[in-house]
């Protein structure tokens, strides 16, 4: 078992990249068949605009990836952090479960903070300003927000003492849920009601992308939906009432270039509140 974990950990970047491509491609084609806005927008143009952010994220991910390697090595060597203090004979599944719960909780609060503070919201607004939420929307993250997000995860990885293999497996899960939650399609209501007791579903996350409050500040979860239920931020709405985007950002933002979206957080005139 340890050999399998080591192999996956060592090949984690390749696994995550391949998994992303496979899931992205599969969901792209599902959108073409049963998408909520099938044929209602220039899908390839939309993808090309959002793909700019995949390029701007690479330098940040590379630099902070080195930081994650150093932090996890140090916490392991010094037995520092909550997870490192678990008894040495603790089952690996329990170690991973504890690590996942702690990091997912930190991600939930990070997401809430991005909505609460104006400066952080300006960065996060780039993601929410998308007027058609589909799989390419997952790419649409301002590089400054990517930096903030990864620094947040780095801090909690250090404080919790998350082992490198747990971090890798959690990132693999995060790829699955982050991409799938942005698909421009919905689960059948019955399946959604069952799965959303524990996990973030596309139906749930679409509510978070509704253009008006209070729904914009609902369903903050990353992988697990339990935090939204525990902290009172869970919500449902009829998909026929869904309108993607942000009511304080002009409709013209949808037709902006990647460069204009990169500049959006720094242009107060384009954000009315």
Q: In sequence order, which residues have a C-beta less than 8 Å from that of residue 94 and are 6 or more positions away?
A: 86
Please tell me the distance from the alpha carbon of residue 98 to that of residue 104, in angstroms, as a whole number: 10
For residue 13, what pLDDT is reported? 83
The mean pLDDT of 167-196, rounded to a whole number, is: 96
pLDDT value of position 217: 97
Q: Does residue 226 contact residue 199 with C-beta atoms inside 8 Å?
A: no
The confidence band for 191, taking pLDDT boundaries of 50, 70 and 90, is: very high
Render pLDDT for 5-51 as a digit per residue (tens, 0 to 9). 666 677 678 889 899 999 999 999 999 999 988 667 889 999 999 99
Least confident of 198-207, 220-229, 235-244, 264-273: 264-273
- Average pLDDT of every residue of the chain: 91
Percent of the chain with pLDDT over 70: 91
* Burial (Cβ within 10 Å: 0-12, 13-18, ≥19) of residue 260: middle
Model pLDDT for residues 216-257, shown as the tens digit of each residue? 999 999 999 999 999 999 999 998 999 999 988 766 665 577
Q: Where are the domains of the chain?
A: 41-185+266-270
Alpha helices in the chain (DSSP H): 2-10, 12-34, 43-78, 92-116, 118-128, 143-160, 164-181, 189-195, 202-208, 226-230, 258-263
Dist. CA 123–CA 96, nearest whole Å: 31
Indicate whether 273 pLDDT > 60: no
Average pLDDT of span 174-187: 96
Residue-wise pLDDT for 122-161, tens only, equals 999 999 999 999 999 999 999 999 999 999 999 999 999 9
pLDDT value of residue 126: 95
Place of tokens 């304080």: 248
167 pLDDT band, cuts 50/70/90, is very high
- pTM of the complete model: 0.93
Instruction: Report which of residues 176 and 266 the model is more confident about.
Output: 176
- Quote the pLDDT of residue 3: 64
Mean pLDDT over 81-92 rounds to: 94
């Amino acid at each position: 078992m340890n050999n399998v974990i080591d192999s996956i950990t060592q090949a984690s970047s390749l696994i995550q990249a391949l998994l992303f491509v496979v899931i992205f491609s599969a969901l792209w084609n599902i959108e073409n068949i049963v998408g909520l806005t099938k044929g209602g927008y220039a899908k390839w143009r939309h993808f090309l605009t959002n793909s700019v952010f995949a390029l701007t994220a690479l330098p940040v991910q590379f630099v902070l990836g080195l930081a994650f390697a150093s932090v996890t090595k140090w916490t392991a060597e010094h037995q520092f952090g909550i997870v490192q203090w678990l008894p040495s004979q603790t089952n690996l599944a329990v170690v991973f479960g504890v690590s996942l719960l702690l990091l997912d909780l930190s991600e939930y609060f990070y997401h809430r903070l991005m909505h609460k503070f104006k400066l952080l919201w300006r960065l996060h607004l780039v993601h929410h300003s998308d007027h058609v939420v589909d799989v390419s929307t997952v790419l649409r993250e301002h590089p400054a927000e990517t930096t903030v997000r990864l620094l947040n995860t780095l801090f909690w990885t250090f404080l919790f003492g998350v082992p490198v293999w747990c971090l890798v497996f959690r990132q693999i899960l995060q790829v699955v849920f982050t991409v799938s939650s942005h698909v421009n399609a919905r689960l059948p209501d019955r399946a959604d009601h069952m799965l959303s007791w524990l996990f973030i579903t596309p139906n749930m996350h679409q509510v978070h992308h509704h253009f008006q409050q209070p729904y914009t500040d609902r369903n903050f979860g990353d992988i697990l939906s339990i935090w939204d239920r525990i902290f009172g931020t869970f919500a449902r709405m009829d998909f026929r009432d869904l309108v993607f985007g942000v009511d304080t950002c002009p409709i013209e933002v949808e037709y902006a270039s990647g460069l204009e979206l990169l500049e959006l957080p720094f242009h107060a005139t384009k954000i009315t509140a």
